[in-house]
Amino acid sequence: MWNVMSFEKIIFGLALILGNVLPAQVLAEPDGSALTNMVLQDCGSCHGMTLKGGLGPALLPENLEALSVEAVAAIIRDGVGGTAMPPWKDLLSDEEVLWISRHLKSGTFVQGPGAAEN
């Protein structure tokens, strides 16, 4: 029999399920502004805050011309063995790595605030 108590339990259960499922789906879409900050700060700590190079080489479009988006993504995912370039696959999803690679290749990170947020 339906009564108010069981109806409330169902609503509560649904809210729990939705609360658990929805944020994960939202996160599957790369968060442009968070990733932009991450690239400029974390990657920037080696590649320079303006990605013009430091301990690691410059990551401007002209520096990455010879590499495809997939090749750049593979380097970011797996790092470069025997160098300071660490693998990022435990910290970034494949979608996030591809997003960063596309934006490195197109130079949007260094074209002013907000340029890479889409």
The contact set with ligand HEC (CB under 6 A) reads 39, 42-43, 45-47, 55-57, 59, 63-64, 72, 75-76, 80, 83-86, 88, 100
Q: How far is the CB of 50 from ligand HEC (least distance, A)?
A: 14
Smallest distance, Å, CB 29 to ligand HEC? 18
Residue whose CB is less far from ligand HEC, 22 or 80:
80
How far does Cα 45 stand from its chain's mean position?
17
**Nearer Cβ to ligand HEC (14/55):** 55
Q: Which is nearer to ligand HEC, 42 or 117 (CB)?
A: 42
Alpha helices in the chain (DSSP H): 4-28, 32-38, 44-47, 69-78, 94-106
- A 10 A CB-CB count for 22 gives 10
Residue 10 or 65: which CB sits closer to ligand HEC?
A: 65
Q: Give me the helix-helix angle, 69-78 and 94-106, nearest 10°.
A: 130
User: How many alpha carbons lie under 13 Å from residue 1 in its C-beta half-sphere?
Assistant: 3
Token pair listed for 47: 């590649």
Minimal distance in Å, beta carbon 2 to ligand HEC? 53
Q: How far is the CB of 49 from ligand HEC (least distance, A)?
A: 12
